[in-house]
Amino acid sequence: MSLLYQGFFCIIAAIVTAEAWQPSPTNIPWAFPLAFRGTLPTHRPTAVRFNDTSFTAYRDASRRIVVHSDVCPHMGARLSHGWISCRGTLHCPYHGFEFDGGRFVPHVHTDASSRKGKAVQLPVLPVAQRGGVEWLLSSPVDDPLAWMEPFLPPEHDDPGFRAIEGTVIVDTCADRLVENLLDMVHISFVHSFGNVKSLPLHVHYEALNSTSGRTTFVYTPNVNTISRRLGRVTSVTVENEFHLPTTTITRVKAGTTVKTVWTTTRPTDRGRCQLFWRVYRNFWIDPHFTGSSAIGDALLRWLMERTIREDQGILAIVDPTQPDDAPVLRTIYDVTILKYRQARRRWGLHWS
């Protein structure tokens, strides 16, 4: 059973025994992206898929985001099709049963004020906000992110950088998508900014800690790229990092020009996931005329969306059933992927 499933089932037990909870490799509150801050609808519940399971997300009376099972324990209706009351409780669309933070609220018409009915509590996933993202946590704790923070790059707090962001559903499992983002050779063959005549040079891997690692290499992109035209260099230095469970960094340095792509992924269904991305840049920023910066934003968004489409195209023809440890045809250029797989295995992380 995967860590996420174990974490999910231990939620109910932890409601009773929260004080006894201690971090361990099997109940770490890993953080997965739920939504960019401010993007969840405020007046209606939203359906959320996480690890092949249905949840619903909404804001309670104190505007706090609540995420719990989407399946009504009465007759199984999808609660995300229901409505939110002025008290911030959620009503099922089928027979109107009310839930407060996932706990059943008995009413006369629901005829379920027995002791058993009052005790009904839907499985809840904790949510925490960091770096402009609402994160879903795979285990319950009082202050979960104090222990396992999602990784944000230093560019996030650097006033010299400007960022754009977006999200997209990708039809492959989260493992394969993250590995694609750590794959240095596919750039030459899959991407329009790649250069088929160039392989990565000076490839160097270093472990950052037990949950993350970085590969640095030098690459010669094709002549039409931002690095060649704006950075005016013939080669760039690339830092490619993974941070468990699903965060990646691709930092491209061309002279003083730096472009950093940060991604994080939520496994949604078997063979499907949701990618959240943000691109930080220290160029095309005009402090006096925001219109210029907005043009830079639009151009970079167009480039990023094209890059993602190219990745989606190749991932559509990758066999997702190939085992992680198939011992054939590995090269030094696969080092980041292999280290990511190793780290994932060490922490028992796997999604299908």
Contacts of 272 (CB under 8 A, 6+ apart): 49, 169, 170, 171, 172, 173
- Determine if 94 is a binding residue for ligand FES (CB under 6 A): yes
Least distance in angstroms from the C-beta of 9 to ligand FES: 23
- Determine if 311 is a binding residue for Fe ion (CB under 5 A): yes
Q: Is 262 left (phi over 0), alpha (psi -120 to 50) or beta?
A: beta
Beta-bridge partners for 248: 242, 263
Contact 280, 262 (CB under 8 A): yes
- Determine if 97 is a binding residue for ligand FES (CB under 6 A): yes
- Determine if 191 is a binding residue for ligand FES (CB under 6 A): no
- Determine if 298 is a binding residue for ligand FES (CB under 6 A): no
Residue 74 interacts with, from Fe ion, ligand FES, none (CB under 5-8 Å by kind): ligand FES
Q: Where are the alpha helices (DSSP H) in the chain?
A: 3-17, 115-118, 174-181, 186-190, 226-229, 290-315, 335-346
CB crowding 310-328: b at 16 or more within 10 Å, else e? bbbeebeeeeeeeeeeeee
Stretch that binds ligand FES, among 37-45, 92-100, 175-183, 267-275 (CB under 6 A): 92-100
- Determine if 179 is a binding residue for Fe ion (CB under 5 A): no
- Determine if 120 is a binding residue for ligand FES (CB under 6 A): no
- Determine if 113 is a binding residue for ligand FES (CB under 6 A): no
CB crowding 204-235: b at 16 or more within 10 Å, else e? eeeeeeebbbbbbbebbbbeebbbbeebebeb
Least distance in angstroms from the C-beta of 93 to ligand FES: 7
The dihedrals phi and psi of 206, each to the nearest 5 degrees, come to: -140, 140
Residue 287 interacts with, from Fe ion, ligand FES, none (CB under 5-8 Å by kind): none
Closest CA to 173 of 108, 65, 232, 245: 245
- Determine if 107 is a binding residue for ligand FES (CB under 6 A): no
Contact 162, 285 (CB under 8 A): yes
Least distance in angstroms from the C-beta of 55 to ligand FES: 16
- In the set 34, 65, 72, 174, which binds ligand FES (CB under 6 A)? 72
Tokens linked to 322: 């190939």
Residue 311 interacts with, from ligand FES, Fe ion, none (CB under 5-8 Å by kind): Fe ion
CB hemisphere CA count around 231 (13 angstroms) = 24
- In the set 13, 75, 298, 316, which binds ligand FES (CB under 6 A)? 75
- In the set 44, 74, 78, 130, which binds ligand FES (CB under 6 A)? 74
- Amino acid identity for residue 191 in this structure: H
Nearer CB in complex with ligand FES: 59/74: 74
Nearer CB in complex with ligand FES: 87/95: 95
Residue 163 CB neighbours (<10 A): 16
Nearer CB in complex with Fe ion: 80/307: 307
> Omega of the bond prior to 245 within 30 degrees of 0, cis?
yes
Nearer CB in complex with ligand FES: 99/276: 99
Compute how many residues bind Fe ion; rule: CB under 5 A.
Answer: 1
- Positions touching ligand FES (CB under 6 A) are 72, 74-77, 92, 94-95, 97
**Interface residues toward Fe ion, by CB under 5 A:** 311
